[in-house]
């Protein structure tokens, strides 16, 4: 499709809000024109993803400017329906009145990545059909991107930062299936790590049944992991965490399992002194253990800081959520030791890494600011 041959479908620019899954969205449709290069490269335009198609309305698409800016596509799309999360700081400014015509931009909603020109507001049946056809042809594999992508690592990160734990469960199911099919030890490690995170969440909301189920499955996984030297240190750290989880459900077991957990953490550090997971679990042990059992908030600070430095030195994709979780643990340790200023700095560091980290942005940091 050559430049200038775009078909424009106009309806005098209309932006309106709707509620979807409890969130406010701004829906609009634009003509998007960018460097010509054929239709096939449009498949790279993965920042537009299918979200919903209901009530004979346009297919809802999410526009993710950061993703597009990182990998701009080449080609031409004439009419795409766009939808943006209603996280605008000033919704009144975002709407800019009922009519947005011609070259006006909704800058607080959409940021134009390099090489992209958003020209005309459009919202017609033809545009809707083109958008849906485009999805069917190019983006069926990416249909789950609204859930954080189709890869388990992306899904878990999305679930953790957006508080969408149903997506985490789907990621666990995908990893279980992949491991059954391949027997790959790296997949088994990611599966065990996913279980570890979900157990912590389940205990946090009081769902002990789910926690017990995942602990049992994780213990089976760890038995296989420890037989491999590839993830030996992490396997010890995860096994120590499982003991700690069981102790949290039955504190009387600390007498028997507390030292066993600590011994495994020491073994994890001895096996790989540069493993951030090992230092994270050491920090957790120091933070949660009573002083009479060797616990120390100050020592927890040291271990969490060491884990963070190690994560940052070699940030693996499946460790991104764990890195953010460690920052939260560090901030809470600062709070417990009376250093609210450093707690605030740490929470803000987490938001610099991930601005959409809901737990910190909407709960933890506001609670600290209100003290």
Does 152-369 carry CATH code 1.10.3720.10? no
Q: Residue 366's pLDDT band (boundaries 50, 70, 90)?
A: very high
Domain ranges of the chain: 16-146, 152-369
31 pLDDT exceeds 80?
no
121 pLDDT exceeds 80?
no
- Continuous H helices in 108-164: 125-138, 152-162
Could you tell me which residue, 164 or 108, shows the higher pLDDT?
164
322 pLDDT exceeds 90?
yes
Per-residue tokens: 360:
């910190």
Mind listing the pLDDT tens digit for each residue in 50-93? 322 233 233 333 333 333 333 333 333 332 333 333 332 233 23
Q: Give how far the C-alpha of residue 278 lies from the chain's centroid of Cα atoms, to the nearest Å.
A: 22
Q: What is the model's pLDDT at position 150?
A: 61
Q: What is the model's pLDDT at position 371?
A: 76
Average pLDDT value for residue range 280-304: 93
Per-residue tokens: 10:
């106009």
Helix (H, G, I), strand (E, B) or coil at 1: coil
Q: What is the model's pLDDT at position 294?
A: 87
d(CA 79, CA 135): 12
DSSP string, 34-72: E----SGGGGG-TTEEEEE--TT-PPEEEE-HHHHHHS-
240 pLDDT exceeds 80?
yes
Mind listing the pLDDT tens digit for each residue in 206-217? 999 999 999 999
Q: What is the model's pLDDT at position 368?
A: 94
Residues facing 28 on adjacent strands:
82
Q: What is the model's pLDDT at position 255?
A: 79
């Amino acid at each position: 499709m050559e430049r200038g041959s775009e078909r424009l479908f106009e309806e005098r620019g209309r932006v309106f809000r709707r509620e979807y899954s409890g969130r406010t969205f701004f829906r609009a449709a634009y003509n998007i024109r960018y460097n010509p290069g054929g239709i096939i490269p449009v498949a790279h335009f993965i920042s537009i993803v299918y979200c919903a198609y209901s009530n004979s309305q346009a297919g809802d698409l999410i526009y993710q400017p950061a993703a597009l800016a990182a990998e701009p596509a080449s080609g031409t799309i004439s009419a795409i329906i766009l939808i943006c999360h209603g996280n605008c700081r000033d919704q009144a400014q975002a709407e800019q009145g009922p009519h947005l015509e011609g070259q006006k931009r909704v800058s607080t909603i959409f940021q134009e990545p390099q090489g992209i020109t958003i020209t005309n507001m459009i919202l017609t049946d033809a545009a809707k059909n083109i958008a849906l056809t485009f999805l069917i042809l190019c983006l069926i594999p990416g249909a789950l991107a609204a859930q954080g992508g189709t890869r388990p690592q992306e899904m878990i990160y999305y679930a953790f930062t957006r508080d969408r734990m149903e997506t985490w469960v789907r990621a666990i199911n995908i990893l279980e299936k992949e491991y059954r099919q391949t027997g790959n030890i790296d997949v088994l490690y990611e599966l065990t790590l996913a279980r570890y995170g979900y157990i912590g969440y389940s205990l946090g909301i009081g769902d002990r049944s789910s926690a017990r189920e995942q602990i049992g499955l994780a213990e089976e996984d760890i038995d296989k992991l420890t037989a491999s030297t590839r993830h030996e240190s992490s396997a010890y750290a995860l096994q120590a965490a499982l003991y700690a989880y069981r102790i949290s459900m039955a504190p009387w077991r600390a007498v028997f399992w507390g030292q066993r957990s600590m011994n495994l953490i020491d073994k994890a550090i001895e096996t790989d002194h540069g493993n951030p997971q090992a230092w994270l679990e050491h920090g957790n042990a120091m933070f949660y253990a009573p002083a009479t059992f060797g616990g120390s908030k100050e020592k927890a600070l040291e271990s969490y800081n060491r884990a963070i430095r190690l994560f940052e030195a070699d940030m693996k994709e499946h460790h991104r959520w764990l890195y953010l979780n460690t920052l939260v643990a560090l901030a809470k340790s600062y709070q417990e030791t009376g250093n609210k200023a450093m707690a605030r700095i740490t929470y803000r560091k987490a938001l610099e890494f991930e601005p959409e980290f809901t737990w910190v942005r909407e709960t933890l940091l506001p609670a600290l600011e209100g003290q």
